[in-house]
Copies of this chain bind each other. A is one copy, B any other.
């Protein structure tokens, strides 16, 4: 049976986009070499603890060294987090996409050497995890709550598939298959196997991807098993720890996390609210959506839809960020979206994009692609500084440097991007997403080419019986004009479907300069016709500035608006507007102006307007509280908004997305 895969081969897409090419280059030229130095403990940088916790290993990465020790090339102990291996795998995955985008024999050589090292570190039975191989072989698969063994395995499988796709080299796939076989041998419903799952979802994603390239159905079934077993016996993770005679914890205190943290409070298919650790949840959903697509399992897809609805209708920030609390880096409850205490981890935003992408495979609906876009253009890329060398874990919507400094409950909200973290999950996660951005642009199914994202690119897409070349030209996200030109060998009947973004309230679609018939379904405009060579489709998405209002059940946003233009959410920064941003309010009759400034923050469209700022000294001297205050006075003030993703690239200061507005 041929696997139906409507994902587009990354090799066949060449990103020519001014906006995204910059990121792809930054990853290739800055992040990848930099991460390589970090992984080898050669970078002369200060690694920061992402939390104020001395238990966090932050002296060095030691990740490559761990592999060398596991491979028997060096002696010593494992250092770092138990999931340190995944740093190497995520680096390798980013390298793979980067090599797909652009050949680089030097880099490929380094990657090959890493794969050789991984092969050496793999045990005879396929087991692969340096922590357990080096320091705790007797505890393998015995402490899944905290061990991250399957999590690391999943990341390796993702990297392996990416590297194989990039280079066609089989070795990496053979290591991954051996590892997957080892897992299939140890886990499953059969007697004698472990009837369990990992504390951190990820292997389910890797196994499904490995199935697609190897066509080994066992891997898909293993992924499905992990997903369907999860939460069925919701005590499994805890009971496994109880059974281990050795009581030493691998991650201190993790066993006190509640079931929701791990999404094991009920069977996955019964879950209808997004709970617990946000990254875990979206990784689970990403796998669930992929397996639902690959197996055509309607029940799985229904579960995905329920979770998608809960996230995007109740628990997501306007930036596409998720995770309302630092405690457990987790979801909390419906409409609880505080702007200055949240987590909004970069990894979680990226994971939400993965989930959206996999849902689009089954259902081309803009409810997914709109969020995909929102997440990518806002709280994902806000994770990286414009220099490509500094990174946020936490992506707040409101920052007061005093609070970050003097209120320990906000100390996780950093005001500048540190250069590296002890737990280095976010930067490489962003690197692999940025280098594979092309994957998210199109899907192809039922003789239809779906355009989900707008960015300049050239793509070669396979339809039922033909191949088309498609060239997208645009200055997105600064302009909503998109030109798509076709190259076909012969006139071909097929459908082109274009996403009509949720932010766009007015648009035109023309074919060769003329109006064209299209029908709209699920947020896409469908044009079906005999397309001929050199056909030119011009889409003009009117890119007005919109004031976004949050559902009034979100307490923290009541009486406020956020500005959005195109896919970009905007914010005020102290650099442009002075301090006390909370004293600024937009008037009813506010007029916004937008201007592209090539010299500001790497080139951005900034928004300016006249606003009012409360004059504190008018009513107040040094009183803390006064009775029956007269109406406050305001001064006029011109203010400047910048795209959210570009904040914190100048001096330290306040930042605010949701701005008071007169109603």
Contacts and interface: CB of A to CB of B under 8 A. Distances in A.
B660 A559 contact: yes
A547 interface: yes
A503 B627 contact: yes
A629 B551 CA distance: 10
A328 B558 contact: no
A515 interface: no
A552 B614 contact: yes
Interface residues of A, number: 60
A138 interface: no
A407 B324 contact: yes
A505 B628 CA distance: 11
Nearest to A327: B408
B564 A582 contact: no
Given A341-B409, A409-B409, A552-B616, A318 B625 contact: yes
Given A325-B409, A407-B327, A409-B326, A550 B625 contact: yes
Interface in A600-653: 614, 616, 619-620, 622-629, 631-632
B327 A409 contact: yes
A3 interface: no
Nearest to A374: B625
A628 B327 contact: no
Contacts of A620: 551-552
A407 B547 contact: no
Contact of A408 (B316, B328, B558): B328
**Most chain B CB inside 10 Å of its own CB: which residue of A256, A330, A503, A627:** A627
A552 B579 CA distance: 13
Contact of A312 (B326, B614, B624): B624
Contacts of A629: 547, 549
Interface string A351-390: 0000000000000000000000000000000000000000
A623 B583 CA distance: 28
A339 to B, nearest CB: 11
A548 B625 contact: yes
Name, among A405, A622, A629, the residue most crowded by chain B CB atoms within 10 Å (CB to CB): A629
| Max chain B Cβ within 10 angstroms of own Cβ: one of A403, A505, A551, A559 | A551
A318 B332 CA distance: 29
A289 B583 CA distance: 37
A314 interface: yes
Contacts of A623: 313, 551
A278 to B, nearest CB: 14
A505 B332 CA distance: 45
Nearest to A580: B553
A613 to B, nearest CB: 10
Contacts of A622: 313
A622 to B, nearest CB: 5
A627 B547 contact: yes
B663 A314 contact: no
Given A552-B632, A583-B552, A406 B332 contact: yes
Given A503-B627, A624-B312, A627-B564, A333 B551 contact: no
7 contacts: A313-B622, A333-B405, A336-B402, A336-B406, A552-B632, A558-B583, A631-B663
Given A336-B407, A548-B626, A558-B582, 11 more contacts: A325-B408, A325-B409, A327-B407, A327-B408, A327-B409, A336-B402, A400-B555, A547-B629, A550-B625, A552-B583, A558-B583
Nearest first, the 10 A-B pairs at minimum CB distance are A327-B408, A546-B627, A549-B629, A333-B406, A332-B407, A555-B582, A332-B406, A552-B616, A327-B409, A333-B402
